[in-house]
A = this chain, B = another copy of it.
Amino acid sequence: MDADISSLKTANGNEARHEIVRAAAEVFMEFGFAATSIDAVAERLGATKGRIYHYYGSKAELYFDVQIAAMERLLREIEPIAQGEGNAAERLEAMALRHATILMEDLPMQKVAVRGLERELLGAVAARHAKTLRSIIRLRDDYEQIFAEVVDAGIRDGLFVDLPPRLATKPFFGALNWLTVWYVPRRLQKPEDVAEIARTLTGFAMRGILKGAQP
């Protein structure tokens, strides 16, 4: 958001921050926000609190950064597909496929992001970080909006079932995002299996939204 005076220092700082974010994502994924201690994140880093608090002002700020990193990757990869070529069905399918794949590739980050700001935060540190909270909710809304627009186009073209776009995207996301609940990465055998799962889920979601031929 504000990295501009980039020099060696800033670059190193960004890399150091990113290491912390990755470790934090893993621990947050395992235990959730409240049950994750900064000491546990530090331990996973092979370091101590000092290192983390040198780069982050609070646990909430670190948690937010995980979410932002996850959302930014999704936005960065999916938006071009949405604006690309093909009819609404083709674009939506490509978006879903990429979306599901990213969830599995970046599971820790994405799992944290998908579970979202689950109230655990709103009640607690809401006021302090109200501005950051808004911007994350904004990111999420923007992302859903990208899908909603393609869905809307598909509905207008008569390709998709006749539903309010915002409502149609809910089960669509559900079929895909649910994998963050059940998917457990196995050692080895990964690259093709991930693609296979992504195709299966995408196929399901597309059938759910496409206007069928039978009455």
Contacts and interface: CB of A to CB of B under 8 A. Distances in A.
Interface residues of A, number: 42
A200 B30 contact: no
State how many copies of this chain the complex holds. 2
25 contacts: A30-B123, A31-B34, A31-B124, A32-B119, A116-B181, A161-B204, A161-B207, A168-B204, A170-B178, A170-B179, A170-B201, A171-B204, A171-B205, A172-B175, A174-B174, A174-B175, A174-B176, A175-B178, A177-B181, A207-B212, A208-B208, A212-B213, A212-B214, A213-B213, A213-B214
A172 B203 CA distance: 12
Interface in A143-180: 161, 163, 167-168, 170-179
Secondary structure at the A interface, as helix, strand, loop or mixed, is helix
Given A32-B120, A178-B177, A208 B204 contact: yes
Nearest to A175: B171
